[in-house]
């Protein structure tokens, strides 16, 4: 399943939802798609959706997905990376009234440099990003928590 999520902010992301419908119509996307559409006023025609989910519902959807297509929200990306999902991130842009500024471009660049995601800076390139994500390899998230805890324990034990 492909999970599409636009987050829970007060901004719409109709461009993404419309593009997903278009790619389903063209049979570019043949997987089942489920979307969390937030306050977007575009209502998907070819796939199931909900406006918002609880955190538990979202985690269940994330677990069931193989690909996550999302706005560049750090929470979604980090959670999906930790679950080793393939992620396509598309920035919300101020010129489309999708956010107050274009900071999501910088967020995508950072995750791209870490090789955690497939970036899609222009919605017109989503089809190409879908092709890329099926064959590209991405880095896995490695937690440093255990190392930090061990350092603290060592410090306490030796002082």
In whole angstroms, give the CA distance from residue 44 to residue 141: 32
Question: 117 lies in which domain range?
Answer: 2-157
Along the 159 residues of the chain, how does pLDDT read in single tens digits? Answer: 999 999 888 889 999 999 999 999 999 999 999 999 999 999 999 999 999 999 999 999 999 999 999 999 889 999 999 999 999 999 999 888 788 888 899 999 999 999 999 999 999 999 999 999 999 999 988 776 666 666 677 767 776
Q: Count structural domains, the chain.
A: 1
Q: Please tell me the pTM assigned to this model.
A: 0.88
In whole angstroms, give the CA distance from residue 6 to residue 136: 24
Q: For position 104, which CATH number holds?
A: 3.40.50.2000
């Amino acid at each position: 399943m492909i999970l599409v999520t636009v987050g829970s902010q007060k901004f719409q992301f109709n461009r993404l939802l419309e593009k997903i419908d278009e790619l389903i119509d063209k049979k570019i996307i043949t997987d089942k798609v489920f979307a969390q559409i937030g306050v977007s006023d575009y209502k998907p025609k070819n796939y199931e959706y909900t406006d918002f989910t609880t955190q538990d519902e979202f985690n269940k959807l994330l677990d069931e997905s193989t690909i996550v297509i999302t706005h560049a929200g750090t929470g979604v990306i980090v959670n999906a990376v930790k679950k080793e999902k393939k992620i396509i991130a598309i920035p919300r842009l101020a010129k489309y009234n999708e956010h107050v500024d274009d900071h999501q471009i910088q967020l995508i660049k950072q995750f791209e440099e870490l090789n955690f995601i497939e970036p899609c800076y222009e919605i017109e390139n989503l089809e190409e990003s879908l092709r890329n994500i099926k064959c590209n390899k991405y880095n896995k998230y490695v937690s440093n928590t255990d190392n930090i805890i061990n350092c603290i324990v060592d410090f306490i034990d030796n002082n």
